[in-house]
Structure 1
Amino acid sequence: MALTSRIELHGPPASDPEDYLSASLGVIFPDDVTNQHGDADHSLVYLSPHLPKPLHIALADPSQDSDRKLFSHYLWNSSLLLAELIEAGSLGLPYHVGAGRPKPADFNVAGLECLELGAGTALPSLMAAFLGAKGVVASDYPSTTVLEMLRNNIAANATVGCSPLGTLAPITVAGHAWGELDTPFATQDRGRFDRVFVCDCLWMPWQHANLHRSIAWFLKGAKHGDRPSAEAKAWIVAGFHTGRAKMRDFFAESALGTVELELESIHERDCDGVEREWAWDRGHEDVSERKRWHVVAVIRRRSAPSSGVAG
């Protein structure tokens, strides 16, 4: 089933010519995939056959350019993909993966402390709360508009009635700018988390180092004197819609090594579940084609000294 099939748009009918065109792109260009969903006038309904109730996701209307440039007022396909992986792993559902890829069970959140960085609409965080996590924090840039959207979506959906297990982990919201590690939240929760979720946060190359620092800071084993936790991992999912060149350096071995992190696994997956090897460079990639693809990576604490670049 296509990745975007779980999403329905709800709201007033289109009235602007641009709205009609946007809504018709999938018909005019059947191979084109929408990789961002919703707007302030149209909420989203997330329908999973494994959840007792649909989730209702509202989106913000950023009034400040600084908020608009964060692009957190959309639901992105990378969040849909990680939500499905968490669901499959935590419920033991069949899910196609290629040879050498992480198995669905590797995305099981049962009993784990989870943090989402750049959470946006918080869909993966909500799924983790429904599916057996010990505790969940959904964080995003400390903007009033962004955090209000996060809190509203969690308040609307974080109920036991939405959980297939009949349980709900504590789920909270925190403001966090990547790399800013002297705030009360960062100080209090350093080294707390077994899993860190990162969805579609790699399109700003100038923020890669800050994102590395935040991941390393919050993963278990970060506190002085703690033993590095081999089981603490970050799950990274990102679309290629902004171009491979902008995001690939995030995975450079030397850059990850700066904060004692390393790749455990990395591959590419499209919106129909087709998988292929990760490639540092595929030459020219058509925009419509690359929008279909995501990188799926697992990052952990570095187990041994290494050198070179993941290319």
Structure 2
Amino acid sequence: MLLTARVSIVGPADEPEDYLSDSLGAIFPDDVTNSHGDPDQSLLYTSPYLPHPLEVRVADPIETKDRLLFSHYLWNASLLLAELVEAGSLEGVVLEPELGVFQDMTEGGKVSNREANAGQGRSRVSAKDFDIRGKSTLEVGAGTGLPSMLAALLGASEVTAVDYPTPVVVDTLRKNVNFNTQPKFSPSGSVAPRIHVDGHAWGELETPFALDNKRKFDRLFVCDCLWMPDQHANLQRSVAWFLKDGPESRAWVIAGFHSGRSKMADFFAKEALASVGLEVEHIWERDCEGVERPWSPDRGAEDPGVRKRWLTIGILRRIT
């Protein structure tokens, strides 16, 4: 199934008949849409495993500085992480195609499923590795907050979503989270006991929010936040600051190539991550139809239409 198939459009609130029942994947069969949303419309996220679709609104920034954040869209990286959280946290859900191909960071080569299962290279990545049940989560650069909503509905112990501290962005994020994290949307009829929305600018670690939450979270969500190379160091600092100490803590970083591979690749540089005490555990690429391939920081000239079909999935951990 196409990654965007779970997203559909609802017309303006005063025109309920303006509902488009077909998914965006069906509307744009040859040109995958990687950003979704318009201030005059809502987006419905429909999952066969949720009792009701989630209704997502996007911000309506007026100021140029707010529009340049590009947080007023739902990006495909968030759709993928939402599906991974769902597949990892619900019994009986199988992500199709299943995960399994990744780059071996030690040897620098592709490891097949058969080799991984035989104990060569690193262990195979499974959708079940994205289980958030009983864990505290923080989403930075959350935008609409979709992965955080799934975490709150599927068993996380604590869910926090933050974005740049400008009112139009944070207010929309808070409204989305408050509306969609109700028991009626949860398969179990319950939600995370602690759900919080706040503002955070990457790298600013002397604020009350940062000081109160240092080394607090089991899992960090980072979706489509790598398109500004000049902010990579600040984002790395924030991830290292908020990620809980210990060998089990992980940061899940998913990003698209729609703005160019070179703009996001350096975030995963070994030296830069090591400077804040982090390392890449696994990294690979997955397209909107579930096809996987090894990660590469440089694939030469790429057709923009093909390039934007792909996402990088990186799993970061503390250096042990």
Deviation, 1:30, is 3.5
Deviation, 1:59, is 1.2
Cα shift readout 1:100-145 (whole Å, capped 9, x = no counterpart): 5520110000110100000000000000001110000000000000
Provide the identity percentage: 57
- Matched residue, 2:141: 118
Which ranges of structure 2 fall in alignment gaps of 5 or more residues? 14-22, 101-112, 117-123
The amino acid of 1:243's aligned partner reads G
- Matched residue, 1:217: 241
Count of residues in Structure 1 that have an aligned counterpart in Structure 2: 286
Cα shift readout 1:11-65 (whole Å, capped 9, x = no counterpart): 159xxxxxxxxx99976x7321000001101110110000001000111110111
Instruction: Give the Cα separation in 2 of the matches to 1:163 and 1:280.
Output: 38
- Matched residue, 2:221: 197
Instruction: Give the Cα separation in 1 of the matches to 2:295 and 2:136.
Output: 28
1:8 correspondence with 2:5? no
Which of 168, 174, 179 aligns to 2:198? It is 174
- Say whether the 8 Å CA contact 2:2–2:25 is kept in structure 1: no
- Matched residue, 1:106: 129
Cα shift readout 1:54-109 (whole Å, capped 9, x = no counterpart): 00011111011111000101000000000000000001321211335520110000
TM-score by length of 2: 0.87
- Say whether the 8 Å CA contact 1:26–1:33 is kept in structure 2: no
CA 288–26 in structure 1, closer or farther in 2 if over 3 Å, else same: farther
SS of 1:156's partner is helix
Misfit runs of 4+, over 2 Å: 23-27, 98-101
Q: CA RMSD in A?
A: 1.7
- Matched residue, 1:230: 247
TM-score by length of 1: 0.89
- Say whether the 8 Å CA contact 2:219–2:251 is kept in structure 1: yes
> After the TM superposition, which residues 1-311 of structure 1 pair with which residues of structure 2 at under 5 Å, given as runs?
1-12=1-12, 30-92=29-91, 93-95=93-95, 96-98=98-100, 99=113, 101-169=124-192, 170-221=194-245, 229-303=246-320
Instruction: Give the Cα separation in 2 of the matches to 1:77 and 1:293.
Output: 9
